[in-house]
A = this chain, B = another copy of it.
Amino acid sequence: MAKTNPGRFFEDYTVGEVIRHAVPRTVSGGERALYHALYPARHALYSSDEFARAAGLPSAPLDDLAAFHVVFGKTVPDISLNALANLGYAEGRWLLPVYPGDTLRSESEVIGLKQNSNGKSGVVYVRTRGLNQRDECVMEYVRWVMVRKRDLDAPAPETVIPELNKVIPAEQLVIPAGLHFSNYDFTLAGEPHRWGDYAVGETIDHVDGVTIEEAEHMLATRLWQNTAKVHFDNTARPDGTRLIYGGHVISMARTLSFNGLANAQMIVGLNGGAHANPCLSGLTVRAWSEVLDKADTDAPGVGAIRLRLVATKGGAPFELKGEDGKYLPDVLLDLDYWALMPK
């Protein structure tokens, strides 16, 4: 019996099946420090226990995207080892903050399958949940990937395409218990702009850029125990490049967005996202945002803001797609998320 994991192929998935992913992970101050070393992370709620306490939390949580990466990384060996493409995200919600000392594991339910017309591959939809040591769900999201078939003669499964919200309704966002921005210190947070200062349709060029190094994206991707070989092995791709984990670009863009969105503190919803073009080392990543929507919440002083976050490797800000409706070649990422901001 072969001992190594060959990964699953399209015909290995069944709608309704729940896959328990391996390797639970306890996080500590070490993960927080590394997140600050790997990305220009400056959002105060994740940087300072005192700032988090002033906002009603027991201490600074692990960055929301770090929690996402830990949960996501565990799914790779079961979901995307033989994936041809990561097609999309939907219905992502952060349900509980993750604190140093928490242990995370992941589960994915197969919620859709559709064989491609060429018969060589198919689309697998999974809803992934991150669970802590008390089996509480800390976050969930749907993603769909294109996966190869092992056996081209395997029969096509019944097509099931899940109905997914294009946007999470604001009332379904979960605000952490106790969170408030009643006595929010805008000076310590870094910018004076509050929820009311942002207008739907407004665009923000985050100005700064970071040139990407091989060592850094590999450190980051390993930290999340994502072991997809294309990220690490320069012999795994015909051109000798290492493909950078899409999540590295997400975190880079989000942290660059501090400059103009310093008060978009907590990410609570992921409406969708596309990795528009591959990211390779040596590129300089920049970011721009667009305000897509705003909504009030019941938490004292807390508003919700829906943002488009775009990462680029060049070109002018605020340009996204060409006349053909396709992403421009310099666009790396197009992400749609909800964040919480002081009113």
Please report A residues at the B interface, Cβ cutoff 8 Å: 1, 3-5, 20, 22-34, 36-42, 44, 47-51, 59-60, 77, 100-101, 103, 105, 133, 187-191, 193, 197-198, 204-211, 213-216, 218-220, 222-223, 225, 227, 229, 232-236, 242, 259-262, 284
Contact = CB atoms under 8 A, between A and B. Distances in A.
Given A40-B222, A48-B24, A188-B23, A284 B209 contact: no
Q: How many copies does the complex hold?
A: 3
Contact of A24 (B1, B36, B47, B262): B47
**Closest CB pairs A-B (n = 8):** A30-B33, A28-B29, A22-B190, A215-B215, A24-B48, A3-B260, A30-B30, A209-B233
A218 B4 CA distance: 30
Nearest to A6: B207
Given A24-B47, A34-B34, A259-B5, A235 B284 contact: yes
A210 to B, nearest CB: 5
Nearest to A103: B50
Contact of A187 (B22, B28, B37, B103): B22
Given A3-B260, A29-B29, A37-B222, 9 more contacts: A22-B187, A24-B50, A24-B51, A25-B36, A25-B47, A30-B34, A38-B219, A42-B227, A50-B103
A229 B3 CA distance: 40
Contacts of A222: 36-41
A284 B259 CA distance: 34
A193 B4 CA distance: 10
A225 B47 contact: yes
A37, A189, A229: most-surrounded residue (chain B CB, <10 A): A37
Nearest to A39: B222
A328 to B, nearest CB: 18
A26 B48 contact: yes
23 contacts: A4-B206, A5-B190, A24-B44, A25-B36, A26-B49, A26-B50, A26-B59, A26-B60, A29-B29, A29-B100, A30-B30, A36-B223, A37-B222, A38-B222, A40-B225, A50-B103, A208-B229, A208-B232, A209-B235, A209-B236, A210-B233, A213-B218, A235-B284
A188 B232 contact: no
Given A234-B284, A261-B3, A208 B191 contact: no
A215 B188 CA distance: 29
A20 B193 CA distance: 17
A187 B34 contact: no
